Structure 1
Amino acid sequence: MNKKSIFINCCLSLALIAGLSAQTGSITGSVTNENGSPLVEANVLVDGTDMGASANANGEYTISGVGAGSYTVTASFIGYASSSRSVTVGDGAATANFALAVSFLPGDEVVISASRRVEKIVDAPVTIAVINEAKIRRSTGFNVGALMKEVKGADIYQAGIQGIGVNARGFMSAYSYRFMMMGDGMNAMLPGAGLSSGGLWPVAKEDIERLEVIMGPSSALYGPNAHNGMMNVISKHPRDYPGGSVVLGAGQNGILTQRVRYAGIAGALAYKVNFEHIAGTDWTTNKEYWGDLNGNSTLDAGETIVVGHEEDSKIEDQRLNVGIYYAINNDMEISAGFGQGKQTGWGTTNLGANVLEGWTVNNTWVQVSHPNVFARFYNTTNKAGTSHSVPNRSMLELGGMTRGDAIEATKYVDDSGLIGAEAQGNIKLGFTHLIAGFDYMKFDPISGRTYLDDKGKDPVTGVEAGEAIVLAQTGFYGQAQADLPASLSLTAALRFDNHDNYGKNTSPRVGLVWKGLGFGNIRVTWNRAFQAPAILQQMLYLPYGVVGPYGLILRGGGRGFTYTDGSTIDPLKVETNETLEFGFKGTPVKGMYLDVNYFQSNYKDFISPLQMISDPLGLGLAGTPGTPLIITHIGDVALDPEYIMTYKNFGEVKMSGFDLGVKYALNNNIGVFLNYSKADYSDLKNKKEDEATAAKYASLHINAPETKWAAGVDMKDLGLQGLAISVSTRHVDEFDFISGNHRATAEGKGISITGNPYFMDEGPLGGYTLIDLGISYDVSEKILVNLTVDNVTDTEARQMVGSPATRRLAVAEIRYAF
């Protein structure tokens, strides 16, 4: 019997043992929301014991084997405030019914992503935030990332109406890959490039139950690339959210939205169907792009073309997902589902922009779940449609080709796929929770040599070249959470990963939580996480125009490079991040929730954004004006002279930061919040100013604000039952952003380092204060009207390089539930 079979059999045996208990007395009851709808799988625990149960499809529960005596019973459900009841158990059954209210103060909420099990957010050993179903339902956002604007510590980069980049703790680039995205715990990064799928992930907004966002390293449980943080998009179970809804909306920029959801229950079978469609026109940039047609390095007449116009700025999102769930018994369920996301829109890259036209992501999954055992198999695939590079298309158009032919000649191929399998078991022994599991992912990136160094027709030579790329990684993890004397709780986790290209890596985490204050918890957590270079960083191959007589090629850094003098750039290595965090979460004052944390992070072998590493003409583009730099080999393959941009490792960078989040309920109808974040990037600044290290770190950039804050007020039922109003203000300090050929700096404003007007430095990003307004009104139990106005004052806010400045956007929707 192999190790995998032994592991699964052990977990099943433990689950069977855990289900046996003595029949002395019991506690029964129901758990519903304030409207009386059952909260399926709500947790009901007997305080001070290891006894508990989950609510069934009708919201009913039974805790058996309870000895005679008086107890306190607590019910909890994610997104709702916990509630407790006192009961006395005799020879028969005692009853405790619960009607849970939606929580304004997050300290009452429970989460699952922090430790891969349900726990109160105040007990979680990490910095975590939740955006619950009520907040999502009363918004009109296009992209799940847009809902994170008020999350403490999150850096939000809005690239137009549709595109949202999310990061935490610095070092962003034009691509979003440092912050891991997951969908119901599945890897939701694009299987070809390894970048965040964003709005391409196939879950309709109407089907999102909540977002759980972890700031800081999470590799101990979630593996490579969860080293800066992660966002888990959790969908609705049809038993928890039965019934249907239809949403219609319209707004500025010709925006039209339609959403439909229906979930039903037929005995042991439950199912759901969701569809969403959004269309409109993004803000335009209307920039001139220069193509040096005659190779004389001078901008001549007839060598520019306008891009980012209205035709480039069409946006369309379409998302469909279905699921079937069959309850084998009260504890075990088998389920399966399919989802498809399709997107058209503008996407910034390090060397310009892409127009996504019908880019499609499909996701299929099947899983078995039990309170003690979980297993899942899933498959994610890509199709690029007619998505293409704007600079490459522009060069062909300038050369006389029609736009349609230019798109056809420069369109990407992406037939990439990901196969994933995972299993997890858990058991509680006394006051210790034990979790163990494994996951396996096999990546088949297929670009037909249109953007990866894989097998296909070479865009430069026109002949077949390259080899197929297949990458696999396997991870095993374990975690123990134990209640210790002196009101202490210890969490220890360890993950072991084996990567085809980067071998064996370990990710430990240790967290200690002290619960002795009575009004909150103090924690200290240490993590070591790692990022294996993304497929794009390892294997990128994309011809991207010319510099004089030489081609400009974007190449992955996975094989390393050799110069004419014999000096080398090493192949990319794994980046590591060690972080120490101190935090407090609790309610020091009645009605107030305080979440504050301080962190210190140490990055080693930091993976850069794209860097110019060769300069055959000695133009200074690689930092050596007047001195030609020529690459002769990539790995052991000889190259002709060319301009090359690639990814490379840096030595060591330290940073620290402080995040503060306060929520205060003035009464049952009004709540206010304040988030404040301050980061210290002085270590990198000092390295760039020190003569001994300046050259080494000159091309590494923070690309994040040092200070940001958000504040707001949420009001409901003021003067009119069912009316809710939220007003929020978000401020981001001015900051430089450099990624590839894009520059947004104070020093270089008005200058294009390439001479191309498209890459003109327009000054730093940030430096804005934006006000957002949300109004929702429950016309009846079935009809809800939402109005969202982002950027009420119509402030021109530059939030991402190569993208249009954001302006006011008003969208109204009406929702009918049945």
Structure 2
Amino acid sequence: MRVYLLIMLLFSGVSFAQNTITGSVTDGNKQSIPGANVVVVGESSGASTDFDGSFKLTTNAKLPFSVKVSAIGFESKTINVTSANQKVNVILKDEETKLDEIVVSASRTPERVIESPVTIERMGIQEIKNTTAATFYDGLENLKEVNFNTSSISFKSVNTRGFATVANTRFMQLVDGMDNSSPALNFVLGNLIGVSDIDVASVELLPGASSALYGANAFNGIMFMTSKSPFTNEGISVYYKYGQTSQDAAGTNDYNDFGIRAAKAFTKHFAMKANFTYMEASEWIAADKRSMTSGGDSHAVNQNYDGLNIYGDEVTTFIPNVGQVSRTGYREQDLTDNKVQSMKADFSAHIKPWADDTEFILQYKIGTGSTIYQGANRYALKDFLMQQGKFEVKGKNFFGRVYFTSEDAGNSYDMRFAAWNVNRAAKSDQEWFTNYATAYQYAGAVMGTNANESASIARNFADYNVLPAAISFLPKPTGSPRFEPGSAQFNNALANVVANPDLTQGAKFIDHSKLYHSDVNYNFRDIIKWAEVQVGGSWRKYIMDSEGTIFTDYDGPIEYKEYGAYAQLQKKFLDDRLKFTGSLRYDKSQNFDGNVSPRISFVYSAGASKTHNFRLSYQTGFRNPTTQDQYIGLDLGPFALIGSAPENLDRFQETVNVSAAGQAIAGQPATVNMSGQNAYRNAYTVASVQAFAASSNPGDLQVADIGLVKPEQVQAFEAGYRTVVQNDLSVDLNAYYNIYNDFMNTARVISPYYGTVGTDATNPAVQQTYQALAFGDRRVYQVYTNTTAQISSFGFGAGLSKKVYKDFEVGVNYNYSQFNFNQQDDPDFVAGFNTPKHRIKASLGNAKVIKNLGFNVNVRWNSEYLWESSFGDGMIPENTVLDAQVNYALPKWKSVIKVGATNLFGSDYLQVIGAGMIGQMWFASWTINP
């Protein structure tokens, strides 16, 4: 309601300026130019052309005055305005090269993209209009170097240059200068509090390390999303999209997306802007039934079946004379409503108090929604909410900003724990396994059934309290029969479980974490003439507040800080053909030693018109351990996650039950207290415990040598070449080689409940650990550390685009990615490169096939590759995906109609092991953009 009220206030506050001019901007072929800037010379007032190249500009400037018209890829033009309500039609000439686009992100200063010291990808207004995806954010997948990982229809993580994850903490995403990653999770939740399709002005993406200017976490890439200014983009814009998604598991479902933008420059000194968007759809259902244990893919043939997207069957135990047995689980689609929602809004006030470019911005953003996140488990994010508030002052040569980010997990829950505790609400684990063992053994002894038949009878009895007549004399269980999905009992039990944050009985997780951030930058270009010098710095504070449900913040929120400072020098030599860039940054996190990140690059512009541009760079990047790496303390059932901050090892405490054999033979108490110290200081490697179980030879056991986690570093070497041939063939080549040091890693270890781990088989304390392992008195932990193994990655890319007939443009790019690692150097290390070795993307489009009609087609192909994660491992098959769209402009209505489809003619395909397969989607949209 507050969102709608503010929008209405903005509408009611619109006032009319003294002079209004309208017009259009076209190129030499009389094709409209969307996104061109029309600015009153000497004033801050301006406008931007819409999709059909039209604009409307209101100003208080007195006649006569001049307006400057500019657009990326075209020469600027100044027009004199001599009368009120004058019609201005402007024709812009093509610049000599389409690579003269101006970018800011690569060096924190405006420069031609062709002179960027590193590889850079850009999406502007025209590319946003032509995207074949349902949203501009989804359309990023068609950019060169970009690899998507889809956890949900509304949760897609961007990755570049390998080591991809859903929780991509190695990639940074900035929206209007604000890092919009989760304070607690430390990774971006897609476009949850990003930018609306009708408010985005541009997207710039730097693949590879960028720590020299942007600090920690800009390790494998960084993306900048910039919204439109209300001073130059006024008016009320609206869009509505309707479509349908189709997936084998989910069927056909509706897709709705609506957005509105209102912006007004009330004077040349004051402007305001508001955005609101709402999207709803049905989820790509995750329905992978493959077993994570040896044996068949169902309980009918595997009594220890653990289905990938079936939860509750992870609860397992060994029953003498029966074998390893798991409980009957529930499908993921039974544990959530499979609905996706997203609502976001933002409001900003902009003040330009003086005649120069100084601008003060006060901005507030809020996003809430429901989606699926995949980490070690699958999580239903329900009513998840994030907020950001920013105050910024910026000018020609400086900026300074402070902002906060806060989040609320809402009604989010862990689906694996939901299944466990719905099962336990019907019947305790102990009773269920006792029922199973009793029925199994009596069925074989009395009825003479084979193993599979006995297992079926036993499961039917444990689940439903039903027995064959021959053994109906067995005592009736006291627990309830299994709650069937959709029944009143199931729904009530699930509702109670997902509302309870005690993971022994519930599944809800709590998160009220926050971060506070500030950064400044000053460019001395107007003071220092011989080179361009700039300096800057940042400060950040994390506040983790999960009330002990995620972190070890049982006694109150945990806080820690980090800061950094940098300097950069740019200088041109050899008749401005050679540009040198040198950067140096120092960063310090409260819990770790400081890091120094240098960058050196050279760009040489060859040829008579300086269109052959060669670049070479060396830079380092680093990544601080995340809040989870340091302070998590989360029991996931089969294992617990333990962060490695020194204080966290003592903060994590749990009580475990010792087996009857351990009590009787080893003389241990019924319960034992375990802490994070056990995980890091008293554990064996998982592989050696498995070898010991098979051989009973203590010599196979190896002590886990786990160091506390520390920052990881990368040394990145890159070379590139960019040019335009005959003014219509664009060529972009790049190659990189990365060397990683102290690469962060998670490792699984097993800690015995009693005894001291070691290799001296004659030591009584070590012998106790053998007994603990034999009796099952052991705990599996996933710990955070760094590998000592040598890891490197390399790759190269080539991109070509050319106009082949009139304005038909063809583009194609290829990327190769590879990493090197010897598993013998660290047998427990899981690389998780998760990136196809070969990727090809191609496009064909024409913005004006005939008057007002345009189209675009994209196709993507990737080779098969291995996916590794804490949730599950497996092969991602080779995929070919075709997307297409057709758009038609209605100038009279100031609108554009678009019809598109994704995964056209294709079958469901996979990007993440454990997530839902991605189906097809068609959509139609109507955008009104006056």
Q: Bin the TM-score by the shorter chain.
A: 0.7 to 0.9
In 2, distance between residues paired with 1:248 and 1:704?
35
Equivalent in the alignment of 2:459: none
Aligned residue runs from structure 1 range 177-192, under 5 A: 177-192=169-184
Q: State whether residues 572 and 648 of structure 1, in contact with CA within 8 Å, keep that contact through their aligned partners in structure 2.
A: yes
Equivalent in the alignment of 1:93: none
User: TM (normalized to structure 1)?
Assistant: 0.80
Q: Deviations over 1:587-634 (max 9, x none)?
A: 1332011111111100111112x431226599xxxxxxxx99989xxx
Compare CA radii of gyration and give the structure with the larger one.
2
The letter for the 2-side match of 1:411 is K
Equivalent in the alignment of 1:399: 424
Alignment match of 2:360 (pick from 334, 348, 358): 334
Equivalent in the alignment of 2:833: 702
- In structure 2, the CA distance between the partners of 1:293 and 1:221, relative to structure 1 (3 Å rule), is closer
- Offset, 1:648: 2.0
Residue 503 (structure 1) aligned with residue 593 (structure 2): yes
Q: State whether residues 373 and 379 of structure 2, in contact with CA within 8 Å, keep that contact through their aligned partners in structure 1.
A: yes
Q: Deviations over 1:763-817 (max 9, x none)?
A: x114011111111111225121112211001322111111111111111111122
Equivalent in the alignment of 2:624: 532
SS at match of 2:568: strand
Q: Deviations over 1:666-702 (max 9, x none)?
A: 3552111111001232x21xx12xx5x25254x3232
Equivalent in the alignment of 2:925: 813
Alignment match of 2:888 (pick from 777, 800, 805): 777
SS at match of 1:392: helix
Q: Deviations over 1:316-372 (max 9, x none)?
A: 01010111111112321111111101120111112x200010111101111111102
Deviates more, 1:277-286 or 1:256-265: 277-286
In 2, distance between residues paired with 1:710 and 1:316?
30
- In structure 2, the CA distance between the partners of 1:628 and 1:132, relative to structure 1 (3 Å rule), is farther
- In structure 2, the CA distance between the partners of 1:213 and 1:99, relative to structure 1 (3 Å rule), is farther
- Offset, 1:467: 5.2
Equivalent in the alignment of 1:323: 348
- Offset, 1:159: 2.7
Equivalent in the alignment of 1:711: 842
In 2, distance between residues paired with 1:353 and 1:181?
23
Equivalent in the alignment of 2:713: 576
Residue 436 (structure 1) aligned with residue 535 (structure 2): yes
- Offset, 1:665: 2.2
Alignment match of 2:514 (pick from 386, 397, 417): 417
- Offset, 1:119: 1.0
Aligned residue runs from structure 1 range 471-486, under 5 A: 471-485=560-574
- In structure 2, the CA distance between the partners of 1:101 and 1:161, relative to structure 1 (3 Å rule), is farther
Equivalent in the alignment of 2:898: 786
Structure 2 unaligned spans of 5+: 1-21, 27-31, 49-67, 80-88, 245-252, 288-308, 427-492, 501-506, 650-679, 685-702, 755-765, 771-776
User: What percent of counterpart residues are identical?
Assistant: 22
Q: State whether residues 281 and 310 of structure 1, in contact with CA within 8 Å, keep that contact through their aligned partners in structure 2.
A: no
Q: State whether residues 203 and 341 of structure 1, in contact with CA within 8 Å, keep that contact through their aligned partners in structure 2.
A: no
- In structure 2, the CA distance between the partners of 1:316 and 1:514, relative to structure 1 (3 Å rule), is same
SS at match of 1:536: helix
- Offset, 1:110: 1.0
- In structure 2, the CA distance between the partners of 1:380 and 1:373, relative to structure 1 (3 Å rule), is same
Residue 555 (structure 1) aligned with residue 547 (structure 2): no
Q: Deviations over 1:178-233 (max 9, x none)?
A: 11111122222111121123222243232111111001110011000101111111
The letter for the 2-side match of 1:181 is Q
Equivalent in the alignment of 2:44: 56
In 1, distance between residues paired with 2:366 and 2:183?
14
The letter for the 2-side match of 1:695 is P
Residue 542 (structure 1) aligned with residue 568 (structure 2): no
The letter for the 2-side match of 1:381 is S
Residue 514 (structure 1) aligned with residue 650 (structure 2): no
In 2, distance between residues paired with 1:653 and 1:134?
40
- Offset, 1:76: 9.5
Residue 731 (structure 1) aligned with residue 861 (structure 2): yes
Equivalent in the alignment of 2:53: none
Deviates more, 1:389-398 or 1:175-184: 175-184
Equivalent in the alignment of 2:265: 265
Equivalent in the alignment of 2:385: 360
In 2, distance between residues paired with 1:57 and 1:784?
26
Alignment match of 2:370 (pick from 344, 364, 385): 344
- In structure 2, the CA distance between the partners of 1:142 and 1:662, relative to structure 1 (3 Å rule), is same
In 1, distance between residues paired with 2:896 and 2:93?
19
- In structure 2, the CA distance between the partners of 1:384 and 1:310, relative to structure 1 (3 Å rule), is closer
Alignment match of 1:648 (pick from 768, 772, 785): 785
Q: State whether residues 41 and 54 of structure 1, in contact with CA within 8 Å, keep that contact through their aligned partners in structure 2.
A: no
Q: Deviations over 1:62-84 (max 9, x none)?
A: xxxxxxxxxxxxx996x721416
Aligned residue runs from structure 1 range 112-131, under 5 A: 112-131=104-123
In 2, distance between residues paired with 1:366 and 1:241?
21
Q: State whether residues 157 and 189 of structure 2, in contact with CA within 8 Å, keep that contact through their aligned partners in structure 1.
A: no
Q: Deviations over 1:1-29 (max 9, x none)?
A: xxxxxxxxxxxxxxxxxxxxxxxxxxxxx
Q: State whether residues 34 and 125 of structure 2, in contact with CA within 8 Å, keep that contact through their aligned partners in structure 1.
A: no
Q: Deviations over 1:518-547 (max 9, x none)?
A: 22210101001100011112212111124x
Equivalent in the alignment of 1:611: 747
- In structure 2, the CA distance between the partners of 1:216 and 1:303, relative to structure 1 (3 Å rule), is same
Alignment match of 1:290 (pick from 312, 322, 331): 312
User: TM (normalized to structure 2)?
Assistant: 0.71
Q: Deviations over 1:12-69 (max 9, x none)?
A: xxxxxxxxxxxxxxxxxx9995479996698x9xxxxxxxx98732379xxxxxxxxx
- In structure 2, the CA distance between the partners of 1:666 and 1:141, relative to structure 1 (3 Å rule), is closer
Q: State whether residues 143 and 198 of structure 1, in contact with CA within 8 Å, keep that contact through their aligned partners in structure 2.
A: no
- In structure 2, the CA distance between the partners of 1:318 and 1:103, relative to structure 1 (3 Å rule), is farther
In 2, distance between residues paired with 1:564 and 1:372?
55
- In structure 2, the CA distance between the partners of 1:99 and 1:361, relative to structure 1 (3 Å rule), is farther
In 1, distance between residues paired with 2:422 and 2:149?
31
In 2, distance between residues paired with 1:629 and 1:574?
36
Q: State whether residues 155 and 167 of structure 1, in contact with CA within 8 Å, keep that contact through their aligned partners in structure 2.
A: yes
Measured on the aligned residues, the alpha-carbon RMSD in Å equals 3.2
- Offset, 1:575: 0.4
SS at match of 1:545: coil
- In structure 2, the CA distance between the partners of 1:617 and 1:675, relative to structure 1 (3 Å rule), is farther
- Offset, 1:498: 1.5
- In structure 2, the CA distance between the partners of 1:422 and 1:564, relative to structure 1 (3 Å rule), is closer
The letter for the 1-side match of 2:891 is S
Aligned length: 698
Structure 1 unaligned spans of 5+: 1-29, 45-52, 61-74, 88-96, 457-465, 547-551, 619-626, 632-639, 745-763
In 1, distance between residues paired with 2:314 and 2:614?
60
Report which of the two has the higher share of helix.
Answer: 2
Equivalent in the alignment of 2:914: 802
The letter for the 1-side match of 2:798 is L
Q: Deviations over 1:360-416 (max 9, x none)?
A: 110111111110221111111101101111101111111126011110122121111
Equivalent in the alignment of 2:796: 658
Q: Deviations over 1:704-729 (max 9, x none)?
A: 111111011011221x3111111111
Q: Deviations over 1:476-504 (max 9, x none)?
A: 11111111125211001111112111131
The letter for the 1-side match of 2:567 is G
Q: State whether residues 377 and 422 of structure 1, in contact with CA within 8 Å, keep that contact through their aligned partners in structure 2.
A: yes
- In structure 2, the CA distance between the partners of 1:432 and 1:336, relative to structure 1 (3 Å rule), is same
In 2, distance between residues paired with 1:630 and 1:329?
74
Q: State whether residues 247 and 816 of structure 1, in contact with CA within 8 Å, keep that contact through their aligned partners in structure 2.
A: yes
Q: State whether residues 174 and 801 of structure 1, in contact with CA within 8 Å, keep that contact through their aligned partners in structure 2.
A: no
In 2, distance between residues paired with 1:525 and 1:40?
33
Report which of the two has the higher share of strand.
Answer: 1
The letter for the 2-side match of 1:563 is N
